Amino acid sequence: MREKLNCAIIGTGKIGIDVYIKCKKSRLFENIYIYNKNSKSEGAKYCKNKKFNYSSLGIDGIIKDIKKIDIVYDASNVHSNKIHYKKLRKHLTKNKFMINFTPSNYGDYYIPYFKINKLPNTVNLVTCGGQSSIPMISEIKKIFNINYFELVSAISSKSAGFGTRQNVDEYINNTKRAILKTCKLKNTKIIFNLNPSEPPVTMTNSMFFKINDKINSRNKKKIFKAILIVNIFMQKIIPGYHARFVDIIDKNIIKITISITGQGDYLPKYSGNLDIITSIGVNYAKKISEKKYFN
């Protein structure tokens, strides 16, 4: 009986390489493999220089090696994820898992803030905006009736690779779908900004909650308590997560901001938007390991 997992990562961009390093640090894995289709890419060169278990056979290489792989991390893009999922689908049985880092709609949403008993074989990690804001939305919803929610996510343009820039519409749509499904909140707006400033800015989410209720001192205390609860939980997964109360606007709009500083494994610390996703990807592997689904 094996004590550790084996995983394969498809994609040698920023997310793929960062999750490789996080998987190695986690000590959950016996073997970690990374694949792409372009052996001359910068990411592939980095993997080879660092002596990673690298292959340029792409998804076909993963299918060939699938018997020895427990988890496939897809760190590609929306278009490629559709192809990968179709090829992997028949292999995603009881003890094989796919963790989708792209903002496509494949997989069941996994938000670690919510407890689940059975682990789906294909999980969708939503987006950085969704993962960081949904825990806060769920707690504020316990206090107030929310009429309208607006999320403004701002990240450094240096944190946005080619895949992110290609998939902005999918990012917005997948975030909205996840908020609707997990928090039952229909009236939402998602805004995504790339900030070119130097030095690069840390990821920041500005959240605006328009509510029916009057906000009194008692309710304010509940808001602060909700923020504390979310911070304590999320900082166990990503230590640089920090939510804070900002202000009451026009008597019935609550503004809360979330900043995320990354752990600096491969990505720079200002890339908290990517770091939260890779951290949660490893968190899901920990859940699989705890349940011994790979034996």
Residues designated as active site: 128
Pairing of strands 5-10, 71-74: parallel
DSSP assignments along 216-272, one per residue: -HHHHHHHHHHHHHHHHHHHHH-TTEEEEEEEEETTTEEEEEEEE----SSS-TT-H
Collapse the DSSP code of 138 into the 3-class scheme (helix H, G, I; strand E, B; otherwise coil) and give the result. Answer: helix
Q: How many Å apart are CA 68 and CA 7, to the nearest integer?
A: 8
Contact assessment for residue 207 and residue 151, using Cβ atoms and an 8 Å cutoff:
yes
Q: Tell me how many degrees the CA angle 31-36-38 measures, rounded to the nearest 5.
A: 140
Residue 199: C-alpha distances to residues 101, 196, 203, 268, 269 (Å)? 27, 9, 13, 12, 12
Total residues belonging to the chain: 295
Residues whose CB falls within 8 Å of the CB of residue 237, separated by 6 or more in sequence, listed in order: 112, 276, 279, 280, 283
